[in-house]
Structure 1
Amino acid sequence: MDKIQTLTSENGIVVFSKSTCCLCYAVTILFQELGVEPLVHELDHDPNGWEIEKALVNLGCNSPPVPAVFIGGNLVGSTNEVMSLHLRGALIPLLRPYQTLA
């Protein structure tokens, strides 16, 4: 879907989310604690959210398809993949180009 492509190519880190999803919130907070500010796109606040959600499933996002995390335009995955990367020490190097100086 064009909207996914546009958002992920124009922003370093994108989290497709739903406002009621606690795992989406946890991933967003993790990124903020690691010094990055992801673009969080709430599907339940987007009139085309259902179509975006179907497109995310077609891209390989599991059920449920949120959070769907993109870093540098590439689909990383959901909470499990993000946390696995973090525990292996591989997440911070992916985030380094997007970290703000604090």
Structure 2
Amino acid sequence: MDRVKDLASKKAAVIFTKSSCYMSHSIKQLFYEQGASPAVHELDKEPCGREMELALRALGCNPAVPAVFIGGKFVGSARDIISLHVDGTLKQMLIDAKAIWF
């Protein structure tokens, strides 16, 4: 859990993914389209990836990826991010966290 929290706090937007997950790819693309450049941590390529996946599940992320942190705070998984994007909240969250500028 400490490793996840540490990585999540190092950049304004952080996405934990798996390289083979299509929803992870979609969420990364959404962030890029918003103008954000998130830190991306692919759990299947991380030495402690399995432990980090378990920590994400403990935070309530089910499935474990994609798991999104904005401003160091856990925001949610793909469903949550898409909902925030649809209602217009995601962009403001990224602006507030200084992940994008306008």
Q: TM-score, normalised by structure 2?
A: 0.94
Structure 2: give runs of 5+ residues left out of the alignment: none
Equivalent residue number for residue 38 of structure 1: 38
Q: Per the alignment, in what secondary structure is the counterpart of residue 76 of structure 1?
A: strand
Equivalent residue number for residue 29 of structure 1: 29
Q: TM-score, normalised by structure 1?
A: 0.94
Letter in 2 for 1:91: L
Deviation per CA, 1:13-70, whole angstroms, max 9, x where unpaired?
A: 11000000010000000000000000010000011100000000011111x2100000
Aligned length in residues: 100
Letter in 1 for 2:43: L
* Partner Cα distance (1:100, 1:37) in 2: 12
* Partner Cα distance (1:55, 1:69) in 2: 13
**How far off is 1:91 after superposition?**
0.6
**What's the C-alpha RMSD, in Å, of the aligned pairs?**
1.1
Equivalent residue number for residue 91 of structure 1: 90
1:74 correspondence with 2:51: no
Equivalent residue number for residue 49 of structure 2: 49
* Partner Cα distance (1:39, 1:100) in 2: 17
**How far off is 1:100 after superposition?**
5.3
Q: Per the alignment, in what secondary structure is the counterpart of residue 6 of structure 1?
A: helix
* Partner Cα distance (1:30, 1:100) in 2: 16
1:61 correspondence with 2:57: no
